[in-house]
Amino acid sequence: MCALCGDYGDPMRRHFRDWLRDEYHNDLSAFRAAWNKPTIHFESAEVPSAEAQLPAKRYTFRDPLAEQNVVDYFRCLAELCADCVIDFCRANSLRETMALLKHNMAQDLTHGQGVWWASWKVDPLKEPVFAPLIKGFQELGTFALDLDLGPSADIAVLVDDESFFYESCAYHLDIPLIFQQRLWGLPKMGAPFDLYLLQDFVEGKLKTYKLYIFLNAFRLDERRREAIKRHVRQGNRAALWVYAPGYINKDSSLKNIEELTGFRMGRGEQPWGPLVHITDFAHPITAGLPQDLVWGTNNKLAPLFYVDDPQAKILGQVVYSQGNCKPGFAVKTYPEWISIYCAAPNIPASVLRNIARFAGAHIYNEEGDVLYATPQLLGVHTVSGGRRRFKLPLPVDEVYDLFEQKTIAANVGAFQVDLTPMSSALYYTGASAVLSSLRRPSRA
């Protein structure tokens, strides 16, 4: 919805009104209170105008006291689009459904994601070189089915779908905060991470992690707020909060951020592109980082937030507006947990790596390569190539290159390899006996 908005047709209007009745349990009083319109009826609710949808009253964020109608419409539209996709992909029979589920499960176990061979791009019959590669992938997939593919990361990255409904339609925040952060900083910090919806964390469905990164936990009601505090504030766990954590509850206020993060905060309303630079290089989070390191976005955001807490350890400043700087990168250590705040999005891999190390997460390497790991697999993609040293969480019997089918090291807790530029490698790290099904006799 960057330009024209909709849908203003009769079918959408009827669907929106039905959705509202269901959302508010047909409670007219609750509906009127949420929309702050004492005379409205379900039958008179309309799809918000383009003038209401495109801007947000608080620049980046929507005011739930004045714009709940837009929030509700976006949620309704999102659910409708999801239902349409599901209907489009639905199988025609139970037999087909079971086959698809089995197929998807196999894909998930072997590749870690839902994928298929793009035969319309490269046909193995026309490109014979791909035939043995695909056969090898199949063998590796079969082999991996007997491995421990459960989560092994020490870091959980949490994205909140609910908070998107409370933002403006502009992508000034979400592109650097979600899209670029996932592409640039997170995969290259040298430690694996698991990505979840925030709601799964709130409902207690996740294993325990050492570091929780809350990318966009902007809108939290009391139930979710209390669940986050209950899970994070124990066991010396660490939380990294970005930009405006918990800012919106029933209202939008600094108190909401302060109560969640433990930092006293300040706020300004002037739109500006927040950029963070380091001012204290003696702390473990900032030690060894270059003085010229700057991150954030030039996209204008508002409100802007900064740390106004004499008890916090200030690590860096945020360019607040027109060259003025305020404390924007800070850490606060409590007896049972650690709170870290960053006022700007798109945190570099080097900073994330130091934060992860400070939180006690295991770091495999520090070269900025893309890295994935399970308890028995280590995948690496490098652009520059060169000599690499990987430190394993525990000593293993054998490190085996699954693509090249050769042993790299034995009885080690770390190993070194020379990687070719623009290449990928996949290593098995575990007991030697498990490799028996993969080992092949040497070719004459």
**Position 287 pLDDT exceeds 80:** yes
Extract the tokens encoding 327.
């404390």
Confidence (pLDDT) at 383 = 86
List, for residues 119-161, the tens digit of each pLDDT value.
544 455 555 655 676 677 777 778 887 888 877 899 999 999 9
Region 7-14: what's the mean pLDDT?
91
- Classify strands 237-242 and 211-214 as parallel, antiparallel or unpaired: parallel
Confidence (pLDDT) at 422 = 84
Domain-located, residue 70: yes
Sign of CA dihedral 35, 217, 293, 176: negative
**Position 405 pLDDT exceeds 80:** yes
Confidence (pLDDT) at 372 = 86
Domain-located, residue 140: no
List, for residues 334-393, the tens digit of each pLDDT value.
999 999 999 999 999 999 999 999 999 999 999 999 888 889 988 888 889 999 999 999
Extract the tokens encoding 389.
């040293």
Confidence (pLDDT) at 133 = 67
Domain-located, residue 150: no
**Position 110 pLDDT exceeds 70:** no
Extract the tokens encoding 15.
């669907």
Structural domain count of the chain: 3
User: Do the beta carbons of residue 416 and residue 389 sit within 8 Å?
Assistant: yes
Domain boundary residue, one of 327, 358, 389: 358
What is the length of the chain? 444
Residue 265 shares a structural domain with residue 178? yes
Domain boundary residue, one of 302, 327, 358: 358
Confidence (pLDDT) at 201 = 97
Per-residue b/e over 185-209, b at no fewer than 16 CB within 10 Å? bbbbbbbbbeebebeebbeeebeeb
**Position 117 pLDDT exceeds 60:** no
CATH number at residue 333: 3.40.50.880
Residue 351 shares a structural domain with residue 375? no
Residue 352 shares a structural domain with residue 419? no
Mean pLDDT across the chain: 88
pTM of the model: 0.82
Residue 71's nearest CA partner among 192, 161, 200, 173 is 161
Q: How confident is the model at residue 193 (pLDDT cuts 50, 70, 90)?
A: very high
Domain-located, residue 123: no
List, for residues 29-61, the tens digit of each pLDDT value.
999 999 999 999 999 999 999 999 988 988 899
Token pair 């949490």: residue:
158
Residue 346 shares a structural domain with residue 379? no
Residue 234 shares a structural domain with residue 181? yes
Q: How confident is the model at residue 438 (pLDDT cuts 50, 70, 90)?
A: confident
